[in-house]
Amino acid sequence: MADSTASVPAPRARRWPYLIPLVAVLALGGVFTKRLLDVENGLEVTALPTVLLNTPVPDFDMPPLPGHAEGLKSADLKGQVYMINFWGSWCVTCLYEHPILIDIAKSRDVPLYGVAWRDTPEKSIAWLAERGDPYDKIGQDPNSKAAIAFGVAQAPETFLVDKKGVIRYKQPGPITPDAWRNDILPKILELKAEP
């Protein structure tokens, strides 16, 4: 209706720009309302993303650390059950988790891949040199490309991938001896038993 004013010579202001704030607010209000309804219907906001569970591993191709022959790419996660661990030398909880990972690596229960997340190659190398290297393969993810694709929210975080390359389990935070015994190892055995 305001368009007709274009032909009127009077310098009357166009009205529609003044509606922008209202429209923006209404749109935002809609988003908030839907979210609140979701929360009321039992959506857990703090729950870590479950969308990636039971979906194929995202595509990635991470470069190797200096001195390592191979990086890590999605094709590496096919044919058997793998565990993939996101860590960083800046992450204090990873210090806690590291000896446990070393034990897991020694047990050879599952091949363990590592992602050096948001770190410099020098620091990652120094970390592994000082504390031992539990990983069968390591990829670098300095810009969080893989971490975002995996929906990693914190470090450390560990995923189990089944024989078909589908993410089946996620351990947010460090693997504790309890979690390994009670949740992760049984899940690995279960996944290994699948065809």
Q: Is 89 in the site for another protein (CB under 8 A)?
A: yes
For residues 101 and 158, give the distance between their C-alpha atoms in angstroms, rounded to a whole number.
11
Residue closer to another protein by CB (options 2, 75) is 2
Task: Select from 64, 73, 78, 95 the one that contacts another protein (CB under 8 A).
Answer: 95
Query: DSSP class of residue 146?
Result: H
Q: Kindly state the tokens that stand for 176.
A: 């504790």
Q: How far is the CB of 11 from another protein (least distance, A)?
A: 8
- 102 backbone dihedrals φ, ψ, rounded to 5°: -60, -45
Q: Is 38 in the site for another protein (CB under 8 A)?
A: yes
Task: Pick the stretch among 39-47, 79-87, 108-116, 180-188 that binds another protein (CB under 8 A).
Answer: 39-47
Site string for another protein, 166-195 (x = CB under 8 A): ------------------------------
Task: Select from 104, 151, 159, 162 the one that contacts another protein (CB under 8 A).
Answer: 151
Q: Alpha helices, DSSP H only, in the chain?
A: 20-40, 92-107, 121-131, 145-150, 177-179, 185-193
Buried/exposed code over 142-179 (b: 16+ C-beta within 10 A; e: otherwise) = eeeebbeebbbeebbbbbbbbbeebbbbbbebbbeeee
Q: Which residues bind to another protein, rule: CB under 8 A?
A: 12-15, 18-19, 21-22, 25-26, 28-29, 31-36, 38-40, 45-46, 48-49, 51, 89-90, 92, 95-96, 148, 151, 153
